Amino acid sequence: MSISPNLSHFLSFFFLLLLLTIAAADESDLVADLLSLQSHSKSGVIHLHDHSISRFLTSTKPPRPYSLLVFFDAKHLHDNSELRLQDLHREFSLLSSSFITNNPNNGKLFLCDIEFKESQSTFSLFGVSSLPHIRLIGPDVKNPKDSEQMNQGDSSRLAESMAEFVQSRTQISVGPIHRPPFMSKTQLGFLIAFFLCWTPYFVKKVIAGETVFHDPKVWLAGSVFIYFFSVSGAMHNIIRKMPMFMVDRNDPSKLVFFYQGSGMQLGAEGFAVGFLYTVVGLLLAVMTHGLVKVKNVTAQRVIMISSILVCFWAVSKVVYLDNWKTGYGIHTFWPRSWS
């Protein structure tokens, strides 16, 4: 019994359509599963492991209907202040929750994390040898090692930088980052109530000139504090969340307060240099504003010479520490008429 050409073409077209339908159904199931996993996560970050990587990535032929942004984590390195893995993961989670808020039920991009001890084979599959490490796996990526790594400049900064990276590579708009408020509505309400109750008493004290703000010593102490805060790198420590000290890699029983190298500055070394700067500033203030009121010439000379020697010692220590840390030297140049 022979089959007519028309029937043969119809059966071929039917089977092809059936295969495409099955493939589309499989892809829809994958997206639905990812959306389900995303909904069960507080921040929307999907926790992956070796099996789920195989299911959603390596066993699924490209092009896939979604992209994955994967944060490679290692819980045993969370105590390492240089890596800042916990801080970066918080920013990554903030990126995920903001993306879901701005793009509900978006099945084109999913943010995931994976832990080293749970999925060491996946780390090898992607060729991850150092942290922090974030990779974007696009729909057309066949080999995981061909996926694009987010550079250190984007991954080490805030969620806004990560969002810019995602948008530039996927053309998917993340939208604004929704950071939690500094204080809750309840706390803000208590603060306003306290301020309203305290205002009449404060106004009365201001009119009578009996507040701490009328005391010159308070302004002097505040000026010294601001000067120290400015020259000690305290703002750098706050922004970068730098530790005061770190554990010596070669000898864990020792602590390192001064880090040799221009790539990082610990809080302790900033405060030490800031203290030396403050000593110099205070001595200069004493010589220019206080010493002129001393009537004894001998006392003036002794105090001035002592202050100059202390200033010279403090500045020489700052120069020495700068040379030890960065390798740059500072050379003196005498006037030509002196030679």
What confidence score (pLDDT) does residue 60 get? 83
Q: What is the pLDDT of residues 214-259, one digit of tens each?
A: 888 888 889 999 999 988 888 888 887 788 888 777 777 788 888 8
What confidence score (pLDDT) does residue 157 get? 64
Overall pTM > 0.75 = no
What confidence score (pLDDT) does residue 4 get? 56
What confidence score (pLDDT) does residue 24 get? 42
CB 178 within 8 A of CB 95: no
What confidence score (pLDDT) does residue 154 get? 57
What confidence score (pLDDT) does residue 26 get? 53
Q: What is the pLDDT of residues 109-118, one digit of tens each?
A: 999 999 999 9
CB 96 within 8 A of CB 89: no
Which residue carries 């040379």 as its tokens?
Answer: 323
Residues of the chain with pLDDT under 50: 1, 7, 10-11, 14-25
| Positive or negative torsion for Cα 6, 9, 15, 21 | negative
Q: How far apart are CA 260 and CA 245, in angstroms?
A: 12
What confidence score (pLDDT) does residue 136 get? 93
What confidence score (pLDDT) does residue 319 get? 87
- Burial string for 27-47 (b: 16+ CB within 10 Å, else e) reads beebbeebbebbeebebbbbe
End-to-end CA distance of the chain: 116
Q: What is the pLDDT of residues 176-198, one digit of tens each?
A: 998 888 777 888 888 899 888 88
Q: How far apart are CA 116 and CA 96, in angstroms?
A: 21
- Burial string for 142-171 (b: 16+ CB within 10 Å, else e) reads eebeebebbeeebbbeebbbbbebbeeebe
